[in-house]
């Protein structure tokens, strides 16, 4: 009877489903027209507007198909018919898969092909994206629709969920626990927990509603499970980092890594001179830091730094400066901090301790950046091509990849200076899913540079090994000795 | 066929049912009557497992009402005033949709005959039907599989007299051996159909009885006096809805017995010249009992 109910729903809701599919296809067509570089901002704006419309229409289809046979209340005709509620639920899921997911999947495959990906790769990427959308958005929406009878009730429920999530986030910020205050790229814990909470809440609520038709209990269970998921916002970042350490791909890989203050590296030089040759006053201070015990090909990403400075008079100043970029095994630790409230004593000796929250990454591949117009396939980034920007002197290397993004998509580009800007956009382990409307299907990565540099640049990709904390103790240092060196 | 024992239903602080018990015999046409808010719809929803009782138990077709499954629903036809049918489907499309759920039990000839008898269009969307036509269509959907039990919750509300006639005629002709439970205010229309009556007031069953016994037990008594009629200060409890007008005193005797009526009346009322008794219609019985219940609770009817 599942197929029979599905056909009835299709008869009732095909127009709305067609509108949702058309909007999705228009959105995808605009995305293809934009290309990887997305230089036409007018089209980009239009694409985002259509995307919102397509998302709303898809949500409306899900709600409408559930409300065709509303579960709460006592007035629906189907409740007095010999229809198994399990069949009804499966028919609704089938409808979402066929009438919402398949048109989107077709569009996503077309998008992948238009971007030069192979059919199999595009299909796998589209399937992944469809699965993520089903788990993270459509399943919760099915549950909310099954617990409500009107659009107004849906809006109230969604607003209530948003209020819970935002309220908990605000509470975390108030207490200084927010993951945003912690080492970078911890946000995935919050996102994954929220999404897992949503999905589990949906499973529980759908189970209660279609098994026992107990709307109050289903609503309570949905709210409770969702709130537990959303409560991850209250997780202090220190605890989140500890969790991240536990799920690191190679826990303990950084066991032998030590950080030391190494005056032999000399002063950092030249980077902070203005165009007229002047240097900002007071001149920036950089402490030379060296990493020992790094295996060949490994390097470090500093996620968070906390500096404690103790003056001779016993006064203590705590700074949270910007984490440094490690060039192979060395880095210059800036003491610039947005939260500075007192000038740093520069001519008196101070005791400095630096705490680092770090990620150990391993180089996996090196790829030359092609000249403008050329393309290259990079294992973790997908198909990459270099394009000259339509305005300005810059060129861009944009990559497109179907399927889930790498757990840590590290892009590193060697610059003329020899320094490297290593960054992880996310440390989410591969078993964690983060639903996204689009970017999971085609992951786009862009890096801008001067076209003339193309032949001199290369892309290195890394994989995460371990997350760890290190402590650097500098018993006696005069900061004026480590002001930036100026080379005119 | 249906048995309910001590049903209690609370909506937060409001108690809609206060220990309702009822028994619908196999093959009967049972009318659940009562004033607005008496608890009729709540009771029917509990019996049909559309709502859960706070306390008490009920069995329908021999199974606990909370465990009614598609197997029982194959044998239950249900029509309610507030029933929501899929507005976007035509009548024919909805019948096509329903048929497979009942398998061999669905009688296509009966369906065709009912559609013709009720003068229902096959291609019009349900959402475009008038309320009356929708109710008739709901009845077709409830009768076409020849249910063992037919439950009708206020099916005649808001219908014009012509539609009511068509509805009741269709029901009377096609119900056959079906046991019927219906709630309604329209006593005149249902009187010819029902065999049993349950009178519900303020969430309780005041009485339930076969129509034959009820018709014999209730009488409108009209006493003509030699002087101006005055309501006696003391009267038997079974005399209800007592009224005085001119030299005539009328009341409803709820325990009517032909023998000894004169003596009993004269023992209470002086100056009796004449006593007339008339059988009562269901509507009049309902009105008298509802007035008595309202007087007892101090509310207005």
Minimum CA–CA partner of A74 in chain B = B50
Q: Which residue of A has its CA nearest to B44?
A: A74
Residue A73 is given by DSSP the state: S
Predicted local confidence at residue A115, as pLDDT: 84
Mean pLDDT throughout B117-145? 90
Q: Which chain B residues contact residue A79 at CB under 8 A?
A: 50
Contact assignment for B70 to A84 by CB distance below 8 Å: yes
What is the predicted pLDDT for the residue at A276? 63
**Rounded to an integer, what distance in angstroms lies between the CA atom of residue A483 and that of residue A271?**
12
Domain boundaries, chain B: 2-209, 219-279
pLDDT of residue A419: 45
Q: For position A245, what pLDDT does the model report?
A: 87
Of all residues in chain A, what percent carry a pLDDT higher than 70? 81
In the predicted model, residues of chain A with pLDDT beneath 50 are 407, 410, 412-421, 431-440
Residues of A near B (Cβ–Cβ under 8 Å) read 1, 4, 8, 11-12, 68, 70, 74-77, 79-84, 214
Please answer whether residues B141 and B95 qualify as being in contact, where contact means their C-beta atoms are separated by less than 8 angstroms: yes
Could B74 and A84 be called an inter-chain contact, meaning their C-beta atoms sit closer than 8 Å?
A: no
Q: Tell me the pairing of strands B29-33 and B179-183.
A: parallel
What tokens were used for B40?
């009729």
The yes-or-no verdict on residue B301 having pLDDT over 50 is no
A210: which 2 tokens?
């279609």
Q: DSSP characters for B113-179?
A: HHHHHHT--SSSBGGGS-HHHHHHHHHHHHHTT--SEEEEESTTTT--HHHHHHHHHHHHHHHTT-E
Q: Which of B45, B84, B101 sits opposite A82 (nearest CB)?
A: B101
Predicted complex: ipTM over 0.95: no
Nearest residue in chain B measured CA to CA from A83 = B70
Query: What's the pLDDT at B300?
Result: 43
Asked, as a colleague might, if the bond just before B2 is cis with ω within 30 of 0, I would say no
Q: Measure A22 CA to nearest chain B CA, in Å.
A: 22
Higher-pLDDT residue of B105 and A420 is B105
Task: Please report the pLDDT score of residue B13 as a whole number.
Answer: 85
Model confidence at B66: pLDDT above 70: yes
pLDDT at B56: 93
C-alpha to C-alpha distance for B240 and B236, rounded to whole angstroms: 9
CB contact under 8 A, B84 and A76: yes
Question: Contact, A425 vs A464, CB < 8 A?
Answer: no
Sequential DSSP letters for A96-119: IIIIIIHHHHHHHHHHHHHTT--H
User: What does the mean pLDDT of chain B come to?
Assistant: 87
The SS3 of residue B52 is: coil
Q: Whose CA is closest to A301, among A116, A470, A473?
A: A470
Backbone phi, then psi, for B281, in 5-degree steps?
A: -75, 160
How many A×B Cβ pairs under 8 Å?
A: 49
- Read off the pLDDT of residues A142-194 as tens digits, 9 standing for 90 and up: 999 999 988 899 999 989 888 988 888 888 878 777 666 666 667 778 888 88
Chain B residue numbers touching A75 (CB-CB < 8 A): 80, 82-84
Say which CATH class B2-209 falls into. Answer: alpha beta
CA dist A27 and A470 (Å) reads: 47
DSSP A347-408: SSEEEEEEEEEEEEEEEEEEEEPPPTT-EEEETTTEEEEEEE-SSSS-EEEEEEEESSPPSS
Q: Mean pLDDT across the stretch B117-123?
A: 87
A83 neighbourhood in chain B, CB within 8 Å? 70, 73, 101
CB proximity B89 to A under 8 Å = yes
φ, ψ of residue B175 to 5 degrees: the values are -65, -35
Spatial separation of the C-alpha atoms in residues B265 and B229, rounded to whole Å: 13
What is the structure's pLDDT at A445?
A: 62
The Cβ-side half-sphere exposure at A195, using a 13 Å CA radius, reads: 18
Q: Nearest CA to CA, how far is A25 from chain B (Å)?
A: 27
Higher per-residue confidence, B274 vs A204: A204
Comparing alpha-carbon positions, the chain A residue that sits nearest to B94 is A8
Token pair listed for B43: 């009771």
What lies within 8 Å, CB to CB, of A22 at 6+ separation is none
**In whole angstroms, what is the distance from residue A225 CA to residue A201 CA?**
5
Query: Which chain A residues are Cβ-neighbours of B101 within 8 angstroms?
Result: 1, 81-83
Interface touch A75/B84, C-beta < 8 Å: yes
What is the Cα–Cα distance from A339 to B183, expressed in whole angstroms? 74
Q: Which residue has the higher pLDDT, A183 or B105?
A: B105
Rounded Cα gap, residues B261 and B151, in angstroms: 40
Q: Which of A4, A11, A75 sits opposite B82 (nearest CB)?
A: A75
| pLDDT (tens digit per residue) in B197-228 | 998 988 888 888 888 888 888 889 998 988 88
pLDDT band at B231 (very low <50, low <70, confident <90, very high): confident
B88 touches chain A (CB under 8 A): yes
pLDDT at B286: 83
Token digits for A344? 């740093």
CB contact under 8 A, A75 and B141: no
B51 inside 8 A of chain A by CB: yes
* Alpha carbon of residue B227 to chain centroid: 41
Under 8 Å between Cβ of B38 and B190: no
Dihedral over Cα of B130, B135, B136, B140: its sign:
positive
Contact yes or no for B88 and A74 at CB 8 A: no
């Amino acid at each position: 009877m599942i197929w029979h109910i599905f056909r009835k729903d299709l008869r009732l809701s095909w127009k709305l489903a067609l509108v949702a599919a058309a909007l999705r296809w228009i959105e995808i067509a605009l995305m293809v027209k934009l290309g990887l570089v997305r230089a036409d901002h007018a089209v980009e704006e239009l694409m985002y507007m259509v995307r919102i419309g397509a998302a709303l229409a898809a949500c409306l289809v899900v709600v409408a198909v559930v409300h065709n046979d509303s579960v709460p209340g006592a007035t629906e005709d189907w409740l007095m018919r010999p229809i198994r509620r399990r069949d009804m639920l499966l028919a609704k899921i089938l409808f979402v898969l066929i009438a919402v997911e398949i048109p989107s999947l077709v569009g996503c495959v077309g998008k992948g092909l238009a971007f030069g990906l192979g059919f199999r790769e595009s299909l796998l990427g589209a399937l992944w994206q469809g699965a993520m959308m089903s788990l993270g958005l459509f399943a919760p929406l099915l549950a909310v629709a099954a617990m409500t009878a009107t659009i107004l009730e849906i809006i109230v429920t969604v607003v209530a969920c948003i209020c819970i999530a935002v309220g908990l986030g605000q509470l975390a910020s108030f207490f200084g626990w927010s993951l945003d205050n912690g080492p970078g790229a911890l946000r995935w814990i919050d996102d994954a927990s929220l999404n897992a909470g949503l999905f589990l809440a949906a499973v529980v609520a759908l189970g209660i509603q279609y098994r026992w038709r107990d709307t109050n209990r289903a609503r309570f269970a949905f709210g409770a499970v969702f709130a537990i998921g959303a409560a991850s916002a209250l997780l202090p970042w220190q605890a989140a980092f500890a969790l991240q350490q536990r799920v690191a791909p190679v826990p303990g890989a950084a066991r032998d890594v030590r950080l030391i203050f190494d005056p032999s590296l000399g002063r950092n030089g030249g980077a902070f001179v203005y165009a007229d040759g002047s240097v900002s006053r007071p001149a920036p201070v950089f402490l030379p830091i060296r990493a020992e015990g790094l295996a060949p090909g490994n390097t470090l990403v500093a996620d968070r730094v906390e500096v404690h400075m103790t003056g001779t008079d016993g006064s203590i100043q705590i700074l949270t400066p910007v984490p440094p970029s490690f060039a192979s095994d060395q880095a210059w630790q800036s003491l610039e901090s947005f939260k500075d409230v007192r000038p740093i004593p520069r001519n008196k000796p101070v005791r400095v301790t630096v705490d680092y929250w770090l990620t150990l990454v391993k180089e996996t591949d090196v790829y030359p950046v092609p000249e403008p117009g050329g393309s290259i396939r990079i294992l973790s980034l997908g198909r990459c091509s270099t394009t000259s920007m339509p305005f300005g002197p810059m060129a861009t290397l944009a990559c497109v990849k179907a399927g889930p993004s790498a757990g840590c998509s590290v892009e590193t580009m060697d610059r003329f200076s020899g320094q490297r800007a290593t960054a992880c956009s996310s440390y989410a382990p591969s078993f964690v899913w983060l639903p996204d409307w689009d970017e999971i299907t085609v992951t786009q990565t862009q890096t801008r540079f001067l076209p003339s540099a193309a032949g001199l640049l290369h892309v290195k990709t890394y994989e995460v090994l371990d997350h760890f904390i290190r402590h650097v103790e500098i018993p006696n240092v005069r900061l004026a000795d480590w002001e930036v060196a100026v080379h005119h | 066929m249906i048995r309910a024992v001590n049903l209690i239903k609370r909506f937060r602080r409001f108690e809609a049912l206060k220990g309702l018990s009822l028994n619908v015999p196999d093959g009967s046409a049972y009318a659940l009557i009562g004033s607005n808010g008496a608890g009729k719809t709540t009771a029917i929803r509990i019996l049909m497992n559309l709502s859960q009782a706070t306390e008490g138990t009920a069995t329908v077709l021999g199974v606990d009402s909370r465990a009614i499954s598609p197997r029982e629903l194959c044998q239950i036809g249900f029509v309610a005033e507030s029933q929501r049918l899929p507005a976007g489907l035509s009548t024919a499309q909805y019948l096509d949709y329903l048929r497979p759920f009942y398998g061999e039990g669905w009688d296509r000839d009966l369906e065709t005959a009912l559609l013709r008898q009720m003068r229902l269009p096959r291609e019009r969307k349900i959402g475009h039907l008038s309320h009356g036509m929708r109710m008739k269509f709901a009845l077709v959907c409830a009768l076409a599989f020849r249910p063992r039990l037919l439950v009708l919750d206020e099916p005649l509300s808001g219908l014009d007299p012509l539609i009511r006639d068509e509805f009741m005629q269709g029901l009377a002709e096609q119900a056959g051996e079906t046991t019927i439970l219906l709630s309604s205010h329209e006593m005149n229309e249902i009187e010819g159909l029902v065999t049993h009556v349950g009178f519900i007031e303020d969430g309780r069953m005041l009485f339930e009885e076969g129509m034959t016994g009820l018709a014999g037990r209730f009488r409108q008594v009209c006493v003509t006096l030699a002087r101006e009629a005055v309501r006696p200060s003391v009267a038997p409890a079974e005399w209800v809805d007592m009224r005085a007008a001119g030299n005539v005193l009328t009341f409803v005797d709820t325990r009517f017995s032909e023998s000894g009526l004169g003596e009993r009346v004269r023992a209470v009322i002086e100056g009796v010249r004449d006593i007339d008794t008339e059988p009562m219609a269901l509507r009049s019985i309902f009105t008298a009992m509802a007035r008595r219940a309202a007087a007892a609770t101090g509310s207005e009817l």
